[in-house]
Structure 1
Amino acid sequence: MSGEDWNDEAPDQSQDTGYTFEPASAQLAVNILEDCFAEGADYLEAAHRLHAITRPTEASPAAEPNDAPDPAPPLPLMNELERALMYELAVPFDGPVTCELGLDDGDSAFVWPPRIRHVTDDVVRLWTFLASALNASAARARFSDLAFRRGVDPVALSQLARDAYLEFGEVDEGFDIDHAHALIRAWTLDRTFRRVEGEEQCRVVMAEVLVSSWDSARRVAGVLLPILGALCRTSLAPSEDPVGVDALLERAGELYFNASSVTYIAELKRARVTTESARLSISEWEIERLAEEARASSGLVKVVRLRDVIERARQLQLIELSRALTAELQALPADDVELESIESTISISRLVMEFYFRQFTRDRDWRNGFMRFAHLPPPTGSIEDLRSAAEERLLRPRVVDIFTTVLLDNEMLPTWTPSSDDTRAEWITAREASFKAAVAGDHHAEILMRLQRRYGSPPVDELVALIAFEGRGNTGLAEVFARALHHFWDGDLEACVHIAVPRIESACRLLLKELDVGIYQVQLGDRPGVYPPLGVLLDSLADLDLDESWLYFLRWLLVNHAGKNLRNEIAHGKVAAVSSSEAALCLRALLLVVMLCGPGSADNIEADLARDVNGAGDVSASAVRDLRGRIRQPIDSATGVPSGATVAVAVMVGAAVGSVRRLIRRLRP
């Protein structure tokens, strides 16, 4: 290993903490550290004791009157001692096991405590002095290692640190993560300087510690398994190795059931075998062990764990096992998932909501109220508000954001889990949109039902005439909307949705055809010609500047797996029940695109092929310009909806009116 791997080199941007080395005060530090590390204290406990000395509190015991006060240690010295104990022994979570002393600071320009290479020469002199003066093994190991990392007498100080780490880590009771990291650090130092005998000694000690811990029922995976991983890093053949690594791996496989531990042990086993059949056997053992742990769970935990085992089986290319586990997952009764609904309610005055709903039924003719419905804004709200809410949630996460999100379908099977920063942001945005759409959907359904109660069900031909006149004249799609609306009024919500959703896709195809976008994909090889799916159509409309808020609503409702995803759910026959809110949202989406479409058929393949071949469509340039303008702003003046502020005012007004009424009743004789 090169010198750069252990030596942080001379400081290139020294961070001066104001400390000046003095031998007398350094000797005082020896006594302080010996007290802090007394009785085998680890680094965390010693740091707490040191902090109590540096910054005593009112609860600290007072000195007796006749006691001679000890000289107060200089504060700069105490600060340096505290900083020295802030450095950490770090073992990586992934990759080959090793252990380094320092900070996990990434690429930060400034960190605290300073990087080892940035400390001043006075601090290095203090470290070197303490390395040779201390008796407590943990303290001696820390300051020897710090001085070594700074480049002082590397061979001698690395050996001193190694011996001290080994002494500190070889304990019979109270073995914890500091002791484990100390043993791995001692082993790492021997490997760095290729001290073969020392490395073998460290491996023997680590193996003894493992066996002793397991015999004593101490099985903390994060403490002990990295030691097992270090023991596996050897070039010795099993017959030449004084440590029975394979036997330790077998025993570990019997003791640990946690998924991450089982996978870690399996990876160590696979790395030690040379044949494909042996690797396959280990992989099958891993999947069976993971499945056994998943089956022992219950509720949603069982579903999620089985899903994770299936994913792991696919990664290991165990296709038959993954299929068997998938069948097992599918067979789980939906009631066994044991989900709970968390609900909350808030009471508001009827005043503001009645004022809002009555604008749709206050005229003598149903057409005015219907057109107010047609001018309602996107049910998921503005895209700016959604993005702002998502950014706020990412900057200031709540407790619920700590837990993994798993979306389930109506059979309680897991469908999607946000696994990256981008997908988590997507989920947060979709969740905010779902809250808005849940309220808007109920309002839309109430508006449509009030229209019917007030005016009856307008005939289909009158609805078609109004929509075609107010829109761009597509009577065919307007008739589809009218029939879907009548199914809604008749209470046949499933028929309503199954009619509306496919025609939204048809309308999107027609819009792109009108804008002279060649979308039909002709036959390629053995693949027949097809139209692209709805998601691709919406992407094309996004390229043509369809209003972002409406675009997000359409995606959320129809194709977003974090949203309703109704287009795909209906296409795969997975919609078992439809609510009036969902049906109203589908009608709102269909009405939007129908009023944007001009005359024509959405599925005229011959016209599409002619447009692709000839490079021109049958829509005039002025009509295209008009349609582009409508796409950018589908609604000229949106119908007002109750805002949070309006509702709050209504609550206060309602409370005030109630108080006045109660006062009047009291004043009546």
Structure 2
Amino acid sequence: MELPEPNSSDELIAELAEIEANETEWLVIGEKLRQRASDANDLQAGWLMTAFDYSLARRVGDYAKNAPPFGANFVTDQFAYPLPLGQVPAEVVALWSDVAERSTGDASQARLHHLLFELRQGNRGHHARAAAAAYLAIGTGTGERIQRVNCLHWSLDLSRRIKDNPGAELVHSPLVALASDSLAQVDSPEPGVALHSIEVLASDVPRHPQLADLLDRARVAYPDARLTGETIRIQRSLVRGEDSRLTKLNREHVLTYLAQADQLTGLMRMVNLEDAAQLATTYGLADLLKTATVGMQAMSFEELGLKETSYTVTFTAGVLEAQVRRYTQQSTLGDALSLLIGDAPPTGDIETTRAVAAHASKSAPLIDMFTVKHIGADALSRYTATTNEERVDEKLARAEMVHMTLAMDGFARILDSLMSNFTPTEDELIEVIGSADHVAVATATTIAKALMAFHASNYEEAVTLTMPRIETLARARLVELGELQFRVQQGHDRGQYPQLGSMLRALQPHLDESWSRFLRTFLVSQFGSNFRNELAHGFVDVVGGHQAALTIVAALHLALTPVRPDARS
């Protein structure tokens, strides 16, 4: 890494002054310095450029306490640009310091002195006052309002951090003026400007005489529920400890979403009702929660106005038949079923799934940028990923669902062909299925009857018989492993076994990873088909052959796979 001389050249200072004569946007200044670095092979210009490329946060109050103001604009697992402040070489810091003392433009004064203040270089009070004064000059200038409010924000922040109260007070009037001017614009009242100005002012001077009027004007100017919510959030911060006023604002917040929902149709109506329900739950407003929930439940799937997508996949003639023959040519039905549950599951091999998910993220990065709501058959939102771990699970499940959709017809044909080829009696099926110690005769009998029903195209009967036995098998496997934990009675909560989802998580280390993923994605995953739960709660109107086949395959895997603590793949 080649580092610059700490004393800035006259040419660099002159170039910076020429740039700042027409420009106050830091990223544009950085880009022009990059051009100089490239055209004139100026190492100092290149390193000075990085000072202008940091992003500067707009955090207020509690959000700002534990977060650094300057951040990278580009981050990967191995690289960040610009460098975190703690990693900036001393020579570069010295260059920034020298330019800060020699430059005259407000943009460079604000940015460089602010950086040096955060780096704790030299006289911090000097850096803070110089940056605050420059920010104030930009904030009261003629530039874009969004930049001006950000500059006023940082001028106030830096003044308060060095206890320069007179300096902080100079910012109050410009903040009021900026918010008022934005609110006065009929066509575009600039919520990003006005609400940020108001929030900065409210955080610093909660009893400012013009604050209440600005907030009232904002409530009128921004009727959209989300913007009204932002205004109410500021209002709530001003009445902490005043229960009656907080309750009134909380109700107004929920009622705003309910009123907006009444003006909308389709998916946007459902979204606003769901937001109202979540807020009512947070605020403990039972009557408004009931109103929102009743409204959500009254909507049908058709009313959401969702677009159905479909695709066609063509298989080469004979491919599926050859796949079926691979199993029907086995010597016994037991051998065929063992082969079936030893191959890749309907959701595919997990390593292939990871590769497919990674390729999808690379080829269509926008997919990962949007939040997905998973909706049940009753048109109500079931779940939204909230953590990075869940978002990874969601991406894998998305790929697995596509694979399962393509594979389930093959699994249905294989099961049907095995029944036709080997023509087993119910007793013969019981003997094969119940061969392992953890499979009780009653369990094997039920699954045998389900296979008979499946072969007779009685799919609902096959699923109804099999699904409870999946829990029986999961529980039996955990008992044999010595890991099942029965929950004893706690107060009025009766003693009970863990639910299927919990048992499948406990079994995960003892199952092949690909099959463990299939069991969860197909049966209980909020990101998959969640078939067991949708079925149990009556949301599956018609049970088809594909669903029946996958349910039986899930049971067969739990029944025929040996129970071994070291079965981790």
Q: CA contact under 8 A between 1:21 and 1:123: conserved in structure 2?
A: yes
How much has 1:280 moved relative to structure 2? 0.8
How much has 1:162 moved relative to structure 2? 2.9
Q: CA contact under 8 A between 1:496 and 1:583: conserved in structure 2?
A: yes
Other structure's SS at 1:574 match: coil
Say yes or no: does 1:32 pair with 2:15. Answer: yes
CA gap 1:21/1:343 in 2 versus in 1, 3 angstroms: same
- Tell me what 2:406 maps to: 439
Say yes or no: does 1:267 pair with 2:253. Answer: no
How much has 1:483 moved relative to structure 2? 2.1
Say yes or no: does 1:498 pair with 2:464. Answer: yes
CA gap 1:140/1:362 in 2 versus in 1, 3 angstroms: closer
Other structure's SS at 2:525 match: coil
Match of 2:383 among 398, 416, 420: 416
State the distance in 1 between where 2:433 and 2:396 align.
Answer: 32
- Tell me what 2:164 maps to: 195
Write the letter of the residue equivalent to 2:550. Answer: L
Write the letter of the residue equivalent to 2:547. Answer: E
How much has 1:352 moved relative to structure 2? 2.6
Q: CA contact under 8 A between 1:477 and 1:594: conserved in structure 2?
A: no
State the distance in 2 between where 1:288 and 1:383 align.
Answer: 46
How much has 1:303 moved relative to structure 2? 2.6
State the distance in 2 between where 1:365 and 1:257 align.
Answer: 71
Say yes or no: does 1:556 pair with 2:521. Answer: yes
Larger displacement relative to structure 2 (510-519 or 260-269): 510-519
Write the letter of the residue equivalent to 1:252. Answer: A
Write the letter of the residue equivalent to 2:301. Answer: A
Say yes or no: does 1:82 pair with 2:49. Answer: yes
CA gap 1:254/1:100 in 2 versus in 1, 3 angstroms: farther
Q: CA contact under 8 A between 1:97 and 1:226: conserved in structure 2?
A: no
Say yes or no: does 1:115 pair with 2:98. Answer: no
- Tell me what 1:288 maps to: 255
Larger displacement relative to structure 2 (280-289 or 484-493): 484-493
Other structure's SS at 2:532 match: helix
Write the letter of the residue equivalent to 1:481. Answer: I
Q: CA contact under 8 A between 2:4 and 2:47: conserved in structure 1?
A: no
Match of 1:232 among 202, 209, 226: 202
- Tell me what 2:133 maps to: 163
- Tell me what 1:583 maps to: 548
Q: Between the two structures, name the one with larger relative contact order (CA 8 Å, sep ≥ 6).
A: 1
How much has 1:47 moved relative to structure 2? 3.5
How much has 1:484 moved relative to structure 2? 1.5
Cα deviations across residues 462-484 of structure 1 (Å, max 9, x unaligned)? 43355456998854333312322
TM-score (norm 2): 0.84
State the distance in 1 between where 2:343 and 2:124 align.
Answer: 75
Cα deviations across residues 46-84 of structure 1 (Å, max 9, x unaligned)? 33444444445xxxxxxxxxxxxxxxx782443354334
- Tell me what 1:571 maps to: 536
State the distance in 2 between where 1:372 and 1:104 align.
Answer: 52
Q: CA contact under 8 A between 1:547 and 1:631: conserved in structure 2?
A: no
Q: CA contact under 8 A between 2:254 and 2:279: conserved in structure 1?
A: yes
TM-score (norm 1): 0.73
- Tell me what 2:302 maps to: 335
Gaps of 5+ in 2: none
Match of 1:448 among 415, 429, 435: 415
State the distance in 1 between where 2:477 and 2:51 align.
Answer: 68
Q: CA contact under 8 A between 2:471 and 2:500: conserved in structure 1?
A: yes
Say yes or no: does 1:317 pair with 2:317. Answer: no
- Tell me what 2:7 maps to: 21
How much has 1:386 moved relative to structure 2? 4.3
State the distance in 2 between where 1:470 and 1:588 align.
Answer: 16
- Tell me what 2:393 maps to: 426
State the distance in 2 between where 1:306 and 1:629 align.
Answer: 48
State the distance in 2 between where 1:373 and 1:33 align.
Answer: 71
Gaps of 5+ in 1: 1-14, 57-72, 597-626, 635-669
CA gap 1:489/1:29 in 2 versus in 1, 3 angstroms: same
Count of aligned residue pairs for this structure pair: 561
Write the letter of the residue equivalent to 1:36. Answer: I
Match of 1:378 among 320, 323, 345: 345
- How does 1:378-527 map onto structure 2 within 5 Å? 378-386=345-353, 398-451=365-418, 458-468=424-434, 474-513=440-479, 526-527=492-493
Write the letter of the residue equivalent to 1:491. Answer: S
Q: CA contact under 8 A between 1:97 and 1:229: conserved in structure 2?
A: no
Larger displacement relative to structure 2 (467-476 or 163-172): 467-476
- How does 1:129-278 map onto structure 2 within 5 Å? 129-131=101-103, 134=104, 136-145=105-114, 151-155=121-125, 158-172=128-142, 174-216=143-185, 217-235=187-205, 237=207, 241=208, 243-257=209-223, 261-273=227-239, 274-278=241-245
Structure index of larger Rg: 1
CA gap 1:21/1:336 in 2 versus in 1, 3 angstroms: same
State the distance in 2 between where 1:40 and 1:630 align.
Answer: 67
Q: CA contact under 8 A between 1:313 and 1:319: conserved in structure 2?
A: yes
State the distance in 2 between where 1:360 and 1:157 align.
Answer: 77
How much has 1:593 moved relative to structure 2? 3.6
How much has 1:137 moved relative to structure 2? 3.5
Other structure's SS at 1:233 match: helix
Write the letter of the residue equivalent to 1:232. Answer: A
State the distance in 1 between where 2:71 and 2:474 align.
Answer: 55
State the distance in 1 between where 2:140 and 2:251 align.
Answer: 36
Q: CA contact under 8 A between 2:438 and 2:480: conserved in structure 1?
A: no
Q: CA contact under 8 A between 1:86 and 1:113: conserved in structure 2?
A: no
Q: CA contact under 8 A between 2:139 and 2:148: conserved in structure 1?
A: yes
Q: What's the RMSD between the two structures over aligned residues? A: 3.9
Other structure's SS at 2:138 match: helix
How much has 1:344 moved relative to structure 2? 2.9
- How does 1:81-100 map onto structure 2 within 5 Å? 81-92=48-59, 95=62
Cα deviations across residues 235-291 of structure 1 (Å, max 9, x unaligned)? 564xxx3x5011111112222355554333222111212410001111111222233
State the distance in 2 between where 1:367 and 1:40 align.
Answer: 78
